Amino acid sequence: MKKIFLLLFALFSLAGLRAQSYHHHDFSLSYGMLTPDRFYTFKSAILDDQLPDSRYIRDNYKSPGNVFFTYRFVTLNEFLMWSGTVGYGTSSSEIFYMGQKQGIIDRQFITGAFELQYRYVNNGSFQMYSGAGIGLTMGKELFTARAEGLTSDNRTMILPGYQINLAGVRFGKRLAVYLELGYGYKGIMNAGIAYSVYKFGHKKY
């Protein structure tokens, strides 16, 4: 995890030396699926306190996905895109211990992050790009007990957030749709719609 954050920091620092001015602004709304919460080894501070041998497991995981609003600064050469993004997501799971259902874990996540994208194909209404993001995820965990000896409880969590965008494609000019494939807080697949606002005196791409 530390290596990932050091790499992203180095990329952001290098890009900052190259970006001199901004060409236009870009606003987008996207929906992401298959976030890391689904794949991580499940741990819960609430359950660790009540089931200290940590032999509990999570099953029947459900999540409607994450929604993100992103604001991008597109540089004058149109290759670099600096971004700020905020997103929200939820998940719900059943908790089992020694084969018996113990309760339900519901989680809510709010993520804020800075991102950098590099556009390596820019052919008018078709673009391709890759990038990365780093930030923080604040979560709330609610455990609803369904077994004797356990009590319902809730806790807050603060987790590091990251996104690796392996490949993104965008179709459109001022109004566009896009699809990104990667891994992190926006999920393995993130699709959205974007709208660009151009500065007066600059031509449209």
Taking only the tens place, the pLDDT of each residue in 78-126 is: 788 999 999 999 999 999 999 999 999 999 999 999 999 999 998 889 9
Judged against a pLDDT cut of 60, whether residue 189 lies above it is answered with: yes
Instruction: State the DSSP string of 107-163.
Output: EEEEEEEEEEEEEEEEETTEEEEEEEEEEEEEEEEEEEE-STT---EEEEEEEEEEE
The predicted pLDDT at position 24 comes to 79
Task: State whether residue 47 is helix, strand or coil.
Answer: helix
User: Class of 2-198 per CATH?
Assistant: mainly beta
For residue 124, the number of C-alpha atoms closer than 13 Å in the C-beta half-sphere is 1
Unique residue bearing structure tokens 């996540």: 109
